[in-house]
């Protein structure tokens, strides 16, 4: 129908415009359409944004709950201490819980940034053949940290926070000489750090900061006797202000076969 024909219908009274004055869509009856089903009246206050104020909840963060007593002890230690050592076998959620707590602290405004670090140790394979510059060669080692972050936030938000400097992911070698204030620091795969490296990392802790060191002393890629994680954990065991949480096979939340394999390997 053209605009001219529509104006002529209004002028001649063929089209009743009063039915649209109340701001609601006119309800269609059986005689208005070939369908004989009664249709509900449209809502005039509906908004695609949802809610009366037009606000839609877009939070990506899920609620984290402990799946074992050991995980609950780790979460409680992170809430009550500034330095936490989380030791345990693969699959116990050490890194995931630490990064989840870091995201919660950042979103709540408790810290100003997240610093994630792990050693770039070759696990039987060399990275020298990989193309690209140094950052490209280190990317495979830092990928697990990105995976844990993107499970807590969207990739778009992770990239934005990294661009702003609110999230920093770097190998252990980049941490020397720094003081990490107002930050949540996660040192992952610490079993691949030497005693000297761990001493350097632990002394980076600044004001209003929390540091979580995760690792499995029994699964080091270093030569025997070089890893310093077990020695550091033993020395920190008796300090009240430092929490040392030791997870066990019963805390493994991966496939049940993981616990069985670790029991015999």
Q: Which domain holds residue 245?
A: 69-264
Contact 245, 84 (CB under 8 A): yes
pLDDT at 260: 78
User: For residue 213, is it within any domain?
Assistant: yes
Residue 32's contacts (CB-CB under 8 Å, 6 or more residues apart) are none
User: For residue 57, is it within any domain?
Assistant: no
DSSP, residue by residue, 125-157: S--TTS-SSHHHHHHHHHHHHHHHHHHHS-HHH
- Bridge partners, residue 183, by sequence: 113
Eight-state DSSP code of residue 110: S
17-39 burial, b for 16+ CB within 10 Å, e for fewer? Answer: eeeeeeeeeeeeeeeeeeeeeee
pLDDT at 220: 86
User: For residue 178, is it within any domain?
Assistant: yes
Q: What is the CATH number of the domain that holds 195?
A: 3.40.50.300
pLDDT at 141: 74
User: For residue 73, is it within any domain?
Assistant: yes
User: For residue 87, is it within any domain?
Assistant: yes
242-246: strand order across its sheet: 167-171, 113-118, 183-187, 210-215, 83-87, 242-246
Query: Inter-axis angle of helices 94-107 and 134-152, to 10 degrees?
Result: 70
User: For residue 9, is it within any domain?
Assistant: no
Question: Which pair of structure tokens corresponds to residue 144?
Answer: 């697990």
Domain count, the chain: 1
Residue 61's contacts (CB-CB under 8 Å, 6 or more residues apart) are 103, 104, 107, 152, 153
Nearest alpha carbon to residue 179 among 248, 115, 132: 115
What is the C-alpha separation between 252 and 242, in angstroms, rounded?
24
Nearest alpha carbon to residue 242 among 215, 202, 204: 202
Question: Which pair of structure tokens corresponds to residue 55?
Answer: 């606000």
Q: Would you write out the chain's pLDDT as a tens digit for each of its 265 residues?
A: 676 776 676 666 655 555 555 555 455 554 554 544 554 454 444 444 444 444 444 445 467 888 899 999 999 999 999 999 999 998 899 999 999 999 999 999 999 999 999 887 655 455 555 566 555 666 777 888 888 898 888 889 999 999 999 999 888 888 989 999 999 999 999 999 999 999 999 999 999 999 999 999 988 888 888 999 999 999 999 899 999 999 998 888 887 787 778 778 7
User: For residue 27, is it within any domain?
Assistant: no
User: For residue 28, is it within any domain?
Assistant: no
Residue in the structure block whose two tokens are 């509900």: 40
Measured in whole angstroms, the distance separating CA 155 from the mean position of its chain's CA atoms is 10
What is the C-alpha separation between 110 and 108, in angstroms, rounded?
6
What is the C-alpha separation between 110 and 106, in angstroms, rounded?
6
Q: What is the largest CA-CA distance in the chain?
A: 98
């Amino acid at each position: 129908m053209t605009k001219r024909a529509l104006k002529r219908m209004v002028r001649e009274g063929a089209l009743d415009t009063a039915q649209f004055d109340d701001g609601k869509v006119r309800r269609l009856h059986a005689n208005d359409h070939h369908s004989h089903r009664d249709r509900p009246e449209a809502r005039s206050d509906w908004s695609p944004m949802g809610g009366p104020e037009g606000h839609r909840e877009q939070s990506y963060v899920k609620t984290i709950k402990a799946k074992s007593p050991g995980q609950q002890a780790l979460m409680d230690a992170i809430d009550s201490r500034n330095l936490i050592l989380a030791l345990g076998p693969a699959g116990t959620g050490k890194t995931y819980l630490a990064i989840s707590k870091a995201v919660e602290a950042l979103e709540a405004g408790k810290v100003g940034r997240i610093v994630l670090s792990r050693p770039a140790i070759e696990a039987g394979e060399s990275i020298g053949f990989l193309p690209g510059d140094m950052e490209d060669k280190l990317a495979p080692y830092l990928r697990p940290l990105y995976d844990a972050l993107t499970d807590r936030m969207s990739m778009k938000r992770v990239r934005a926070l990294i661009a702003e400097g609110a999230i920093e992911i770097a190998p252990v070698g980049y941490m020397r000489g720094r003081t990490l204030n107002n930050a949540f620091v996660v040192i992952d795969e610490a079993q691949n750090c030497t005693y000297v490296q761990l001493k350097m990392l632990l002394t980076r802790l600044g004001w209003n900061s929390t540091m979580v060191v995760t690792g499995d002393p029994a699964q080091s890629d270093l030569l025997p006797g070089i890893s310093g994680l077990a020695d550091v954990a033993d020395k920190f065991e008796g300090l009240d202000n430092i929490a040392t949480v030791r997870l066990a096979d019963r805390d493994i939340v991966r496939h049940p076969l993981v616990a069985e394999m670790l029991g015999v390997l």
